[in-house]
Amino acid sequence: MRWGIAGLGKIAHRFAKDLTHNVTLGELHAVAARDLERASAFAEQYQSPKSYGTYTALAQDPEIDVVYVATIHPLHKSLVALFLAHGKHVLVEKPAFTNTEDWDEMSALAQRQGLLLVEAMKTVTFPAYQALRSFIRDNHITLTSIEASFGNYHEFDPQQPLFNPALSGGATLDVGVYALWLYADLCQLMQKTLIKPVVTISRDNPTSEVDENVMFHFAGAQHATLSGTLCASITRHLPREAVLKGPDVHIVIREKWWNPCHIEICYQGKEFTIEAPMLGGGFAYEIEHVSALVQNNAQCSELIPASTSRAVIALMEEALCEHGFSYLACN
């Protein structure tokens, strides 16, 4: 499976490293940036046969099967549209889009073209997480509560993407998306209703124009939904484990839960561990998954379903718009 990469920032380097060293089903064939010199240097570093100084040139390459879009959020829609229009399957970095209108429009285009459009939410493709899902499903477990957070301290700099409103920065779109995906995926697994959370947003820097801290609190009837609190921050260090609870079950996803490798489970009085060390930087799983989907002419992903992507985008969009940050969702 021949891959192209559009946008050559930090996450593209991590993706390319795994694609080059830790993947058997897929190879890096071309990279593109708006600066040909930068693209050429990237191509040399990761042994890509081709490099382009425009995204259109990448889209027009007849040898490319699938493109990974790794640019800043505001460019996602135009690039996804470009690659789909040229017959390329697309894996787009999370959040795929910042509002549901863009998601719906691009999903419809992908369907018309008979192509895959998948959001790059690598967390749910990790083997340990898939084993956890199987454990929950096979034992008919009903989780009733969740506590998860994702936060790191970053020094305030309005010119940096994280704090730049023109680039759709902020905690919700950068790291809150992970926690919301975990919540939504578990609800989907257990066929529970995805309810509207109570959202609290704050800023540690008075002049900041993005949401620096966000908390999503879900509360409802335990049999119908999953209750709990999700926190995200770009200005504070937060705990790095996720805790899931239900009748007779207590689950802890240790360390960086968004790269799930070590999961401790106490079920009906018995303790055991799911452990699967991370391969490379953790991108190989989603690369192999999407490559297999393309190879098998699949129209959707069961691991990263479109319905969950849309539901998470809707939660983020609503939270931002209701708290005065609509401009982050509408770039």
Assign residue 25 the CATH number of its domain. 3.40.50.720
Q: Examine residue 90 and state whether it is found in any structural domain, yes or no.
A: yes
Q: Check residue 76 and give left, alpha or beta (phi > 0: left; psi -120 to 50: alpha).
A: alpha
Q: Are residues 37 and 82 in the same domain?
A: yes
Nearest alpha-carbon partner for 160 in 120, 205, 102, 196:
205
Q: Is the pTM of this model over 0.85?
A: yes
Q: Are residues 267 and 146 in the same domain?
A: yes
Q: Are residues 199 and 266 in the same domain?
A: yes
Assess whether pLDDT exceeds 80 at residue 331.
no
Q: Are residues 48 and 141 in the same domain?
A: no
Q: Are residues 185 and 323 in the same domain?
A: yes
What is the tens place of the pLDDT at every residue in 255-309?
A: 999 999 999 999 999 999 999 999 999 999 999 999 999 999 998 999 999 999 9
pLDDT of the residue at 143? 95
- ∠ at Cα 124 (298, 97), nearest 5°? 75
Domain that holds residue 22: 2-120
pLDDT of the residue at 302? 95
pLDDT of the residue at 99? 97
Structure-block tokens of residue 132:
């956890």
Count of domains for the chain: 2
Q: Are residues 68 and 204 in the same domain?
A: no
What is the tens place of the pLDDT at every residue in 71-105?
A: 999 999 999 999 999 999 999 999 999 999 999 99
Beta strand extents in 162-301 (DSSP E only)? 198-202, 213-218, 227-233, 242-246, 249-253, 262-267, 270-275
Q: Are residues 104 and 246 in the same domain?
A: no
Among residues 93, 120, 147, which one ends one of the domains? 120
Q: Are residues 196 and 258 in the same domain?
A: yes
Q: Are residues 69 and 142 in the same domain?
A: no
Q: Are residues 114 and 214 in the same domain?
A: no
pLDDT of the residue at 247? 92
What is the tens place of the pLDDT at every residue in 6-28?
A: 999 999 999 999 999 999 999 99
pLDDT of the residue at 223? 66
Q: Are residues 141 and 88 in the same domain?
A: no
Assess whether pLDDT exceeds 80 at residue 219.
yes
pLDDT class for 225, splitting at 50, 70, 90?
A: confident
Assess whether pLDDT exceeds 70 at residue 311.
yes
What's the whole-number mean pLDDT along residues 196-224? 91
Q: Examine residue 306 and state whether it is found in any structural domain, yes or no.
A: no
Q: What is the average pLDDT value for the chain, to the nearest integer?
A: 96
pLDDT of the residue at 107? 98
Burial state string for 5-18 with b = 16 or more CB within 10 A and e = fewer than 16 = bbbbeebbeebbbb
Residue 63, exposed/middle/buried by CB under 10 A (0-12, 13-18, 19+)? exposed
Assess whether pLDDT exceeds 80 at residue 220.
no
Q: Examine residue 285 and state whether it is found in any structural domain, yes or no.
A: no
What's the whole-number mean pLDDT along residues 162-170? 96
What's the whole-number mean pLDDT along residues 243-263? 97
